[in-house]
Amino acid sequence: MLFKTANLFQLLLTLLLFSGCKNNESEEKNTDKSIKQEVELNHANNFNIKTYNDFYLLEVKKPWPGAEKGFTYVLFRENAVIPKDLEYDQKVQIPVENIVVTSTTHIPALEALQEEKTLIGFPGLDYISSQKTRDLIASEEIKELGKNENINTETLIELQPDAVIGFAMDASNKSLETIQKTGIPVIYNGDWTEKTPLGKAEWIKFFGLFYDKLAKAEAVFSDIESSYSEVKKLAKSSKSTPWVLSGAMYKDQWYLPYGNSWQAQFIKDANANYIYADTEGNGSMSLSFESVLEKAADADFWISVGQYTSYSQLYNESQHYKQFKAVQNKEVYSVSLAKGETGGVLYFEQGPQRPDLILKDLVSIFHPELLPNYKRIFFKALNK
């Protein structure tokens, strides 16, 4: 009898130990931080994504130029177990049901993911050009939030969005700080800090996370990337490589993109020579009119001519513009002629998300024989 009792006790002990091992193993799995996959980013340098069992870890490395540190965000599914020792700045449950974005460059990503209806607030509605989103504005489904530099925080807080996608020029943004203190997650987007056209466009993967549509975002970007590559290859087939001037005058200074900028990359990929290709820097460089005239008087084309939409406007500003070969030959192109119904410039809203279409525009300008029937979307010839 004693032998049987001892055997029974040993059996129970074994079962308990086995059960304890199982429970510990389950607990380890629930708190396991091992990365299932690091998402491949082919062009963007300022963010990365790591996927875990039931959440994403999103790191925005450079939210603005010169940022001393980045931000880490957790985007988690319902019932996700987030390890207690995981460090992050904000967390958002996904998929989000409503959202506030703060730049028109964010709108095309929402539309490409078929999530524009989740947008409930935006600062500066008149700047939005896309017809899909304008229809939502017309039906009063998107609230006006004032200006990005001074967002109407009271209205935004009343909306209670699941997340606010913000952007900042530097570390000081009182409106976004106020919003964050109320418990509404503010996520900084740094797509505009990228220095290549495809680098900016790849940020659609950033937006894909908020809707748990990473695969969809990757497919959209892959199509854009392939289209861009095809246009670039077509441009290389041209034997001519014209010289190009870019930028415009503002208060006695000519502002031009640096040679390492995303604008200059477009010119290079369109198989043309940018006059200032050998320069490097952040933002725009400013030069005197005389300096630009001396270097670029014989440029074949002049693009991104600022707010000008006609040659008469150009001449009214200064008759000296007539000294440029591109002006004499009527080869000046502006993005200010393609606008939405409330005056928003299409290029600034849609361009960063569709670099392949910008490149097509430029190839049709620099090498018209390659795209003879192409109708430009962003760049238009100045009116006479």
Question: pLDDT tens digits for 63-79?
Answer: 988 888 999 999 999 99
C-alpha triplet 275, 278, 281: angle, nearest 5°: 110
Lowest mean pLDDT among 33-37, 150-154, 193-197: 33-37
Q: How many domains, in total, are found in the chain?
A: 2
Residue 230 lies in a domain: no
Claim to verify: residue 356 and residue 314 sit in the same structural domain: yes
Claim to verify: residue 283 and residue 359 sit in the same structural domain: yes
Claim to verify: residue 145 and residue 84 sit in the same structural domain: yes
Claim to verify: residue 209 and residue 327 sit in the same structural domain: no
Domain boundary among the residues 224, 255, 284 is at 224
Quickly tell me which residue has 């760049």 as its tokens: 379
CA atoms within 13 A on the CB side of 364: 18
Average pLDDT along the chain:
89
Claim to verify: residue 289 and residue 323 sit in the same structural domain: yes
Backbone angles phi and psi of 255, in degrees to 5: -95, 125
**pLDDT confidence tier of residue 9, bands split at 50, 70 and 90:** very low
**Residue 150, helix vs strand vs coil:** strand
**pLDDT confidence tier of residue 168, bands split at 50, 70 and 90:** confident
Q: What is the Cα–Cα distance from 161 to 167, expressed in whole angstroms?
A: 16
Residue 20 lies in a domain: no
**Residue 115, helix vs strand vs coil:** coil
**Residue 46, helix vs strand vs coil:** coil
Claim to verify: residue 183 and residue 294 sit in the same structural domain: no
Q: Which residues of 31-57 are buried (b: 16+ CB within 10 A; e: fewer)?
A: eeeeeeeebebebbebbbbbbbeebbb
pLDDT at 365: 98
Residue 6 lies in a domain: no
CA distances from 143 to 46, 117, 256 (A): 30, 12, 36
Domain that holds residue 140: 37-224
pLDDT at 32: 52
Claim to verify: residue 216 and residue 272 sit in the same structural domain: no
Claim to verify: residue 350 and residue 301 sit in the same structural domain: yes
Query: Which DSSP letter does residue 335 get?
Result: S
CA distances from 290 to 48, 163, 293, 322, 348 (A): 44, 49, 5, 13, 29
pLDDT at 27: 35
Domain boundary among the residues 224, 257, 287 is at 224
Domain boundary among the residues 159, 191, 224 is at 224
For residues 156 and 179, the answer to whether their CB atoms sit within 8 Å is: yes
Claim to verify: residue 191 and residue 253 sit in the same structural domain: no
pLDDT at 10: 44
